[in-house]
Amino acid sequence: MCELLGMSANVPTDICFSFAGLIRRGGETGPHRDGWGIAFYEGRGLRAFHDPLPSADSRIAELLIAYPIKSRVVISHIRQANVGDICLANTHPFSRELWGVMWCFAHNGQLDRQLFDWPLTYYRPAGTTDSEYAFCWILDQIRAHYPDAPPQDPSALVELVHDCCEKLRGLGVFNMLLSESTQLFCYCSTKLSWITRRAPFGEAHLRDRDMSVDFYKETTPNDIVTVIATEPLTDNEQWQRLAPGEMVVFVDGEVERQISSQDGAGR
């Protein structure tokens, strides 16, 4: 299994603190030694850093802790390989363009091999993971429904993505983060938690290393920053867990839409 980390914020914000906690799970406090990646949106631009080396030993990861890249939407992943070799092509997050925007995706879980029989039309994986295949399949469904532009009604897109995720969950474990630069789609199959930080800000302490940050000193009173992770990253704050089959969509750090599983497994 892998670890996911996402962020949605209403102002460009760095994720150094959360990332510092996450990468310890890549070979130190966790077993996820098989590569890591992080992608930052800056407007419609997307910059990603990938490393097939363990994050706890990675010089690139070390730089990113010290070098605050400010972004409003971030997706990160550290990998413990199950399907697919350890190599760069299999390192999340994955990205593809649709409607002139770069979509970005990371997955935690494992899907039945029958996934690889599901037909793909527009997008094909470069690597051999179930994750990248699932990403291509989701984008294929979106593109088949809306070839040229997003639907006028944004909730139609959210429902379509949720529907795709539900189908994928039928094949196994499918926790996922997906974005097209403004919306962060967070779908839970087994494990995903989130916290929204806003004024009055307090201090947070990481579970995975002895490191605290006083967000009061780091923020302005109007900042709204949501962090999503496989497991809560701090031990002194109240994180909310998503239910199986639930999807939450964040925009500007706020919950834009929340959908439960149609089979009633959600809350």
Least distance (Å) between residue 181 CB and a second copy: 9
Q: Which of 11, 16, 65, 89 binds a second copy (CB under 8 A)?
A: 89
Given 2, 104, 165, 188, which residue is catalytic? 2
What single string gives the DSSP state of each residue in 218-265?
H--TT--EEEEESS-SBSSS-PEEPPTT-EEEEETTEEEEEE--TTS-
- With CA atoms as reference, report the closest residue to 206 among 8, 17, 6, 4: 17
CA angle 114, 79, 158 (to 5 degrees): 60
Q: Of 36-55, which residues contact a second copy (CB under 8 A)?
A: 42-52
Between 121 and 236, name the residue whose CB sits nearer to a second copy.
121
Tell me the closest approach of the beta carbon of residue 126 to a second copy, in angstroms: 5
State yes or no: is 104 an active-site residue: no
Residues 6+ apart with CB under 8 A from 98: 139, 142, 143, 180
Least CB distance from residue 101 to a second copy, whole Å? 6
129 or 261: whose CB is closer to a second copy? 129
Task: Enumerate residues 166-225 that contact a second copy by CB under 8 A.
Answer: none
d(CA 27, CA 78): 10
Closest to a second copy by CB, 23 vs 248, is 23
**Surface-to-core class of residue 138, CB atoms within 10 Å of its CB (0-12 exposed, 13-18 middle, 19+ buried):** buried
Minimum distance, C-beta of residue 111 to a second copy, in the bound complex (Å)? 18
- From 6-14, 58-66, 192-200, 240-248, span contacting a second copy (CB under 8 A): 58-66
Write out the two tokens for 132.
Answer: 């990248």
Contact positions with a second copy (CB under 8 A) in 95-134: 96-97, 99-102, 122-127
Which positions lie near a second copy, rule CB under 8 A? 42-52, 59-60, 63, 67, 87-91, 96-97, 99-102, 122-127
Active site residues: 2
